[in-house]
Every structure is written in structure tokens, then in C-alpha cells.
Chains A and B, each alone.
Chain A
Amino acid sequence: MAIRLQNLTKKFGGQGAVDTVSFQVKQGELVGLLGPSGGGKSTILRMIAGLERPTGGDIFLNGQSVNNLPPQDRGVGMVFQHYALFKHMTVAENIAFGLEVRKSPKAAMKERVRELLALVGLEGLDNRYPHQLSGGQRQRVALARSLAPRPGILLLDEPFGAVDAKIRRELREWLRKLHDEMHMTSIFVTHDQEEALEVADRIVIINQGRVEQVGTPKEIYDHPETEFVANFVGPVNVLAAEVVEGKAQAGPLKIKAPGFQNGDRVNLVIRPGDVVLESAEEWEYGTGEVKRLVFLGDMVKADIETDSGHCLTAHLSRSNPDFDRLQAGDRVNIKVDMGRIFPRVLESGMDGWGI
């Protein structure tokens, strides 16, 4: 195990920020720490780097306990959201800093800087200063700088948070490709679920300082273990339902509800992509009506209201035969293939239900 966290806890003056977090990162894996802002992800990362001292728990890097090791000695590299480049140094000097500190011979340093500039695609910019570069370029310099001393582990704290949306997507892809070449054990922090799904080998979902779920992007998306995870990662429909005859029922929708009793109040959580719509030729065979259609390029978003009064959203992809045919006002038959059932907690935060 390259990185192992055990019951990691951090309190800031009595306020808990991280609460008994445990997970592991395999050698060569790219793990995403995903969660809402303020949830503790950056704190966890900074504890791994040695920038914060844990209040409780242990951190093991390559089997060695590092709780008492200062950041200088941990052999990690780190990339910050706002680049943290040394403004008074050139690009080359920035990248060489970690080598200079280790008193590398000059020739070796020059070679390594050149190598890294090529790796991040910034050849020729070695004598520029940070303020002369774009956001995307600055972040690539920051990455090159962190890789120069050959760390065993790479930590990235919302690395693309400060750049424009388009550049963010490009950098995302580029980072993934880089990882596929270098296979460096990496953790990156993000609050953007799309980013996590796209880049990470595995995702750790952190909410309010606790681990909600650990899994691959598919596992997290298809089998969320808590309502928070379901809601946070990807669009959802949440329908208040009751368990009747072993099935959670909300209007025309029924899903098997193993482990629940008849009469239990539950939330039925359905991905818009799992909603199956069939045009109802006859009025009475339909179970709902299309209220609104939004054309989104490769996808059509349909807002449906069932006859029972439930509202939900369905996504239709181009491959769907009804893609072109469906109109607002059509009667539809609604079926659901997959759904998750969670007990309904009345006080739980009901914000952001994606309907």
C-alpha cells in the first residue's frame, strides 16, 4: 500500500474537520477525493503532505508512519489550486528549486528541467516569469516543479479550480494521460464530480469530514451506498415513496425493496438515464405526460409529470428511437429499470435534489 490512512482525525480548535477517515491508495493508482467544499478533503491532503498535524489517527506512506515527519522529508510532491509559483523566479528556476535544495549538480539540474519542460509541453518558456504565463501554463509549471525531485507520491489540491472551464477540461485529459504514462501514486482533491469520474481510478467521497463511499467511478455512480453519494455524483430523481408489498412505490414506479418493511417511508432515487419512456398510443395506457423537453445535443432532457403527481426527469440519448419523436405534451409510459432505495430521514438536508 503506497498510502494508508487509519482513523485520521483533525479538529481545529474544537471544531471537527476530519473524522476518523480511513482509506488506502495502491501503488500507481490515481485516486480522487471528491466532496462538497469545506468537507475536509483539502485538510486530509494537507495532512498527508505534512502541512497539518493530525489530531488523531495515523498516516503511512509506503508502510512507514509519517505522522511526525516534516513535509520536507516525506517524499511527496504537491500541486496547489492557485499554483503557488515563486513569482520572482523564472519557470526554469521554479522547476529547479527542489533539485537546488538537494544540491544537485548543475548539469543534472539543467537536464532534468529540460526533460520536465518537454513533459509538460512548455519547451522554450524556461526564462519566462509566472506573471507572463496563462493559468493553464502556470499549473503545468507547478506540476513540473513538483515532479522534479522525483517524489513517490503526487498530491493535487483542486489543481484545476483556478483556470477557465475549457482549459480545465483540457488539463483534466492531459493529467490522465500523464498518469497513464508515469503511473505515479496520486491523490487529487476536487469538488467537481464530473472531473472525478473522468480522471480517477477510484474515488473516495468525503462529506463533513467522513468517508461516505470508496469505489470505482462506475461503482459509485451505479451503486451509491448513501443518499448523499447518489445525489452528489450525477443527476438524480428523488421521489418520496412508501413500501407496499415488498416494493417501494411512487406513482407508477415500483422497485423491489429488500430489507424494508411494508409501510416504511423511503426515498426512491432514480438516475434520469435509467428512466424508460414509451410513447403511449392510447391515452389510457400512459402513466404520465411530457411537460418540457430540452435539447442538449447528444441528449434530450424530458421533464415528466406522472398521473400520480410525481415529477421526474428522464434523459434520452440519440440511440433511443424516441429521441426525435418525443414532443412536449405527449403521453408516455414510464418504467424504471434501476433505482436505489434509502430510508427517508425527515430532517436530512433536502437541498439540491436533482429533479
Chain B
Amino acid sequence: MGHLKIAHLSWRLLATIVVSYIFVLVLLPMGALLSNSMAGGWGGFLEDLSQPVARKALQLTFEVALIGALVNGVFGLLTAYVLVRFEFPGKGLLNALVDLPFAIPTNVSGLMLLAVYGGGSPLGKVLEGLGLPLAYSIPGVVVAVILVTFPFTIRALQPLLEELDPDIEAAAYILGASRWKTFWKVTFPSLLPGVLSGVTLAFSRGLAEFGAVVVVAGNIPMKTQLAAVYIYGEMESYNARGATSISIVLVAAAIVLLVLLNLVSSKQRLTIPRFGLLRKIFVKGEVKEHGNPVIPVQDR
């Protein structure tokens, strides 16, 4: 019986170590951020937020993240539908490629975009001729954000589509509904939670983007500078307070989105997607019968 007690004690010890580890790793740094933000007081915080460059960066970030999320929402829905409902050559390849933006470092993603659409490439020259240069431009930033948020809606919707009973659509057709009407009145409502969670995830991810954007669009304040890049700049210029204030805004927004996401997912049963690498949708909270999957987010 003695060795059992030792076993239990050693387990408790390990558990304590691990919990302390978490506190040190996560809570201390966040505490440092919080305390640093309070150091300047409300006045300092508001002053930092009213900086035109900062405001522009935040505004641009929210807009770009929103566009990226919506574009990926629409095309992601289409892609998920095509990947689940149709058979065609190259389908397996496409399915595997969906996860690529997860597996590739973000600055490499930016690099790839420049390689193909940047000024040095043939396509890039065509784009420039059309007045749509990729590098150092807002469209470029949008494209970069679309790339890094590519997988979210697709992986959120595939399991829902897979679970959807095809007889339900058949029933609608037999009752006289056209394909279009069936999609909107019958199919889409079942997909809505997936669309919402995918778009929210993509938006949250887009807000945080750094690597891809900094490569594609550089760091031009007021023009192509996103919030994370602005924070980086302020840090480099030893404006810790400015960096802190904007950081707090981003983190707060992300936490709100995280909570929203959990609400959406706990209302509906999200099941584990049956394909693709990195296929899991990050959900907190009570795990339903098939469990909560995770989407890992690549470096921003």
C-alpha cells in the first residue's frame, strides 16, 4: 500500500509542477502586458489609441481581416461542397493542399505570393500594368490574409456536409424545390454554424497576421501597415507603451472572438472532420460525443 501512496504523491507533485509551468508560461507574461498598460493609466492608453498611425493600422487590420474572412467564407463553402459532394480527378490532392497554409511559415507564405505575383515575375508585371501591383499595396495585404486563413471555413464545413443526409436534399427536390431553393432553404441552414465558426476563426486569425503581411506589403505606416506590424514597429522604436496599448486592443478583440466561437460551437454539435491534416476546429468547453478538435494556427 505504501508504494501506492508514493505513486499518488508523485503524481500530485507532477501535476503541481505542470500547473505552475502554465502559470509561469502564460499568466506571467500576460500579467506583464497588463501591468505595463496600467502603468500609463487610462490617459496614456487613450492617447496611444488616438495616434493616427495606430488608428489607421487597427482600422486596416479589421477591414482586411473581415474581407479575408468573408472571401474565404464564400469560397470555402463552395470548396467544401465540391470536395464532399463531387468525385473528380485531383480531388485528393486538393484536399491535402487545403492545409498547406498551416504547415508553411507565414513569412514564407508572403514570399511565395511575391514570387508569383510580385514585381519580378511575369504575372506580376501584368498585374502592375493593370494598376494592381501586389507588393506594398492593400490588395496585396488582402491576398496575403486570404492565403493564411485559407483552411478555416473549409475544414469547418467539411464534417457538417459529410454528416448531412443527402436524402434531405432529395426530399426537397421531390417536393418540387429547385436546386437553388433547396440549397438556401434546406442545406445552408444546417451549415450555418460551420460557416459562422469558420468565418470567426478566419477573422480572428487575420487580425493577428504579421509574417505574410510584413513580407508582401512591408511596413508603410498609414498605407499597408497592419496592427501586428505597427506593434512591432513601436517596439523597435522603444515605444513600449504604444505597443502595449494596441496589443491590449488586439488581445481583447481576440478573446471576445474566442468566447463567441465557444458559444457557437457548444450550441451545435461539431464533429471531428474526417479528412485532412490539421483538420480540427479549435473549440473550448465541454466536449460533445465526438470531441472537440483543434485547428493549430501557424505563425502570424
Contact = CB atoms under 8 A, between A and B. Distances in A.
B171 A80 contact: yes
B176 A72 contact: yes
Contacts of B171: 78, 80, 84-86, 142, 145-146
B190 A101 contact: no
B167 A72 contact: no
B165 A82 contact: yes
Given A71-B170, A84-B165, A84-B171, A101 B186 contact: no
A76 interface: yes
Contacts of A72: 173-174, 176-178
B173 A86 contact: no
Name the prevailing secondary structure of the B interface residues.
helix
Given A76-B174, A148-B175, 11 more contacts: A70-B173, A80-B170, A84-B171, A85-B171, A88-B189, A97-B177, A98-B175, A102-B176, A145-B171, A146-B175, A149-B176
Bin chain B's interface residue count: 10 to 19
Contacts of A88: 189-190
B172 interface: yes
A8 to B, nearest CB: 19
A146 B172 CA distance: 10
Contact of A82 (B167, B177, B181, B189): B167
B170 A51 contact: yes
A187 to B, nearest CB: 14
Interface in A45-95: 49-51, 70-74, 76-78, 80-82, 84-88
A12 B261 CA distance: 43
Interface residues of A, number: 28
Closest 8 CB pairs of A and B: A98-B175, A84-B167, A84-B171, A101-B176, A88-B189, A71-B173, A80-B167, A84-B168
Given A71-B170, A78-B171, A98 B186 contact: no
Contacts of B185: 86, 97
A76, A101, A145: most-surrounded residue (chain B CB, <10 A): A101
Contacts of B181: 101
A88 B164 CA distance: 12
14 contacts: A51-B174, A71-B173, A72-B173, A72-B177, A77-B174, A77-B175, A78-B174, A80-B167, A84-B167, A84-B171, A86-B186, A97-B185, A101-B181, A148-B175
